[in-house]
A and B are shown apart, each in its own frame.
Chain A
Amino acid sequence: GEKVEQHESTLSVREGDSAVINCTYTDTASSYFPWYKQEAGKGLHFVIDIRSNVDRKQSQRLIVLLDKKAKRFSLHITATQPEDSAIYFCAADNTNTGKLTFGDGTVLTVKP
């Protein structure tokens, strides 16, 4: 089955800097790659996604890049703010049914 590896378990940046979280996947059939944010004691909240028919997507300060050849995708958060501090999960879907395979999360800390 699909396996998703999230490379940074923790990441600390200064407010205003950019943060980059990298993930790799194993199944070439995966075609949908969402990112979710989890704040302490809360459920997961969708932030952005990308499908395999594009290699870049931007939504305000969030940019997702997809490299299908390398089976790698990444989340870039620009101009970070303290409220961006949370756990970020990448995921992949190889069935287009919501059966997501998640990475183990990256704890992002944005220091003022």
Chain B
Amino acid sequence: EAGVTQSPRYAVLQEGQAVSFWCDPISGHDTLYWYQQPRDQGPQLLVYFRDEAVIDNSQLPSDRFSAVRPKGTNSTLKIQSAKQGDTATYLCASSPTGGAGQLYFGEGSKLTVL
């Protein structure tokens, strides 16, 4: 069974540029999460979906961040006008049980904003 796939693995931007991260969850997993992991810290939830619906986006930092999952499968996290404080690894995870159990994480997309 293929795991959670994320791309790109790395991105380096100047402040003010935009970037999109893509996530392909495990087939059949209805729930998808985006977490932000700053260096030397634990992951922090940004947003999560059940199928195509946003269930909770209250932790998305600002209107510079957006996330979609239009067909309830793949998802895109976009950061517009990036800031140095956005430097972090962005982790996607999926779950087959609505989140009431183990999450399956991708390897992450590491963003550096100069």
Contact = CB atoms under 8 A, between A and B. Distances in A.
Interface residues of B, number: 26
Interface of B: 4, 31, 33, 40-45, 48, 55-56, 91, 93, 95, 98-108
Interface of A: 4, 6, 32, 34, 36, 41-46, 49, 89, 91, 93, 96-105
Nearest to A107: B40
A18 B102 CA distance: 25
A41 B98 CA distance: 27
Chain A facing B: main interface SS = strand
Contacts of B4: 43
Contacts of B45: 99-101
Contacts of B104: 46
B91 A43 contact: yes
Given A43-B91, A96-B100, A99-B45, 15 more contacts: A41-B107, A43-B105, A43-B106, A44-B91, A44-B93, A93-B99, A97-B31, A97-B55, A97-B99, A97-B100, A98-B31, A98-B99, A99-B48, A101-B45, A105-B41
